[in-house]
C-alpha cells in the first residue's frame, strides 16, 4: 500500500482546495500518450492518484499532489513559527507580570494567582510556562541579569576610559532601578532570605568580577593607584552599590538614588584615583544623573 498523507496534511489540502485542483488538473497536465497507472487499471485495489506530468522547456512539472503536499507543509511550518513567536511573547508578558508582583509584594507575599491576574491570563496558561512560583521567580532573576549585562555593554561602548565606563555602569544601575520593574524585582529576590529555593546563578558574583576587571584596567591606564587590589575593590564596591539602592528604596522610594550614588563614588574615586585623575573626579561622578544618558534605546533592549 502507498503511504498516505497524515490527517493534518489531508485537512490542510482540503482547506486550500489542493485536493480538488490536483484531481481536476490530472487530465489537463497529462500528455497525449498518457497511459493509466496500475492504480487506475481495472481490477486494481489501489486508490487512484494522478502523478503523470508532461514535459515543458523548463523541465518536468511536479505532480499536482506533490505540489499540494509541499504547499501544505510550508503552510504548517509557517503556523508553527507563529505559534512559537506567540509562546515567546506570552512568556515575556508573564515574566513582566511576575516582576510587578514580586516587586510589590515580595517573594512570600506574591502568588501565582496574582501573576495570572496581572498578566490577564488563566492559571492554566501560566502553569504551561512555569511550574511554580520559584520557577517563575528564577526566570525574573535571569531576565534581570540579562538586562543589567546589556546596560553594562552599552556603558562600555560609550566610554573613553575604564573609570568612565564604571560611572556609566552606575548610571545604568540607577536607571534600571527607577525604570525597569524586572530589574527591581530581580535584585529584591536575589537579596530575599525567604527565596533560597529559587533556581538561579547569583548575579552578584558577575558584578564583583566585572568591577574588579574594570579597576584592573584603570590601574593599567594610570587612573587608579596600583596599591589598590582590584579583587578587594570589586568585593567592596558591589555590596556598597547594592546597599545604597536598598536604603534609598526603603527610605525615599529611590527618589534620592542618583544623589546617593554620586556621594558614594565621590568618596571611592577620591581615595583610589591617581594624582592626575583626581581632578577629573567631579566630571566622572556627574555622569550619574537622572537624565536619559546611559539608557539603551528601545532598539537596543535585549529581546
Give the pLDDT confidence score for residue 281 in this predicted structure: 98
Q: Where are the domains of the chain?
A: 147-300
DSSP codes joined into one string, the chain: -PPPPPHHHHHHHHHHTHHHHHHHHHHHHS-TT----GGGSTT--SPP------EETTEEPPPHHHHHHHHHHHHHHHHHHHHHHHHHHHHHHHHHHHHHHHHHHHHHH--HHHHHHHHT--HHHHHHH-SSHHHHHHHHHHHHHHHHHHHHHHHHHT-SSHHHHHHHHHHHHHHHHHH-HHHHHHHHHHH-GGGTTS----HHHHHHHHHHHHHHHHHHTTSB-TTS-HHHHHHHHHHHHHHHHHHHHHHHTTTTHHHHHHHHHHHHHHHHB-HHHHTTHHHHHTT-SSSSTTPPPGGGS--
Question: Is the pLDDT assigned to residue 59 strictly greater than 60?
Answer: no
User: What are the pLDDT digits (tens) for 249-272?
Assistant: 899 999 999 999 999 999 999 999
**In this predicted model, which residue has the larger pLDDT, 231 or 249?**
231
More confident residue, 242 or 258: 258
Q: Look at domain 147-300 and name its CATH class.
A: mainly alpha
Is pTM beyond 0.75? Reply is: no
Q: What is the mean pLDDT of residues 23-49?
A: 46
**pLDDT of 184:** 92
Please tell me which residue, 78 or 184, carries the higher pLDDT value. 184
pLDDT at site 19: 47
State the pLDDT confidence band at 275, using cuts at 50, 70 and 90: very high
Amino acid at each position: 500500500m502507498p503511504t498516505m498523507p497524515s490527517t493534518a496534511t489531508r485537512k490542510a489540502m482540503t482547506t486550500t482546495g489542493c485536493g480538488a485542483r490536483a484531481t481536476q488538473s490530472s487530465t489537463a497536465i497529462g500528455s497525449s500518450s498518457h497511459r493509466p497507472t496500475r492504480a487506475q487499471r481495472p481490477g486494481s485495489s489501489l486508490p487512484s492518484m494522478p502523478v503523470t506530468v508532461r514535459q515543458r522547456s523548463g523541465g518536468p512539472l511536479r505532480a499536482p499532489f506533490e505540489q499540494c503536499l509541499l504547499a501544505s507543509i510550508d503552510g504548517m511550518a509557517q503556523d508553527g513559527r507563529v505559534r512559537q513567536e506567540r509562546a515567546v511573547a506570552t512568556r515575556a508578558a508573564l515574566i513582566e507580570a511576575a516582576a510587578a508582583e514580586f516587586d510589590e509584594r515580595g517573594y512570600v507575599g506574591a502568588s501565582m494567582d496574582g501573576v495570572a491576574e496581572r498578566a490577564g491570563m488563566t492559571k492554566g496558561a501560566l502553569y504551561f510556562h512555569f511550574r511554580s512560583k520559584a520557577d517563575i521567580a528564577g526566570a525574573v532573576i535571569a531576565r534581570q541579569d540579562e538586562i543589567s549585562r546589556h546596560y553594562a555593554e552599552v556603558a562600555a561602548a560609550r566610554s573613553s576610559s575604564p573609570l568612565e565606563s564604571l560611572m556609566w555602569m552606575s548610571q545604568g544601575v540607577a536607571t534600571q532601578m527607577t525604570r525597569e520593574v524586572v530589574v527591581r524585582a530581580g535584585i529584591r529576590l536575589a537579596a530575599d532570605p525567604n527565596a533560597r529555593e529559587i533556581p538561579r546563578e547569583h548575579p552578584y558574583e558577575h558584578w564583583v568580577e566585572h568591577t574588579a576587571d574594570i579597576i584592573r584596567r584603570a590601574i593599567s591606564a594610570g587612573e587608579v593607584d596600583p596599591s589598590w587590589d582590584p579583587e578587594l575593590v570589586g568585593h567592596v564596591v558591589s555590596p556598597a552599590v547594592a546597599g545604597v539602592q536598598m536604603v534609598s528604596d526603603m527610605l525615599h522610594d529611590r527618589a534620592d538614588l542618583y544623589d546617593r550614588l554620586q556621594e558614594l563614588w565621590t568618596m571611592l574615586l577620591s581615595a583610589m584615583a591617581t594624582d592626575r585623575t583626581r581632578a577629573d573626579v567631579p566630571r566622572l561622578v556627574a555622569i550619574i544623573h537622572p537624565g536619559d544618558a546611559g539608557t539603551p534605546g528601545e532598539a537596543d533592549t535585549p529581546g
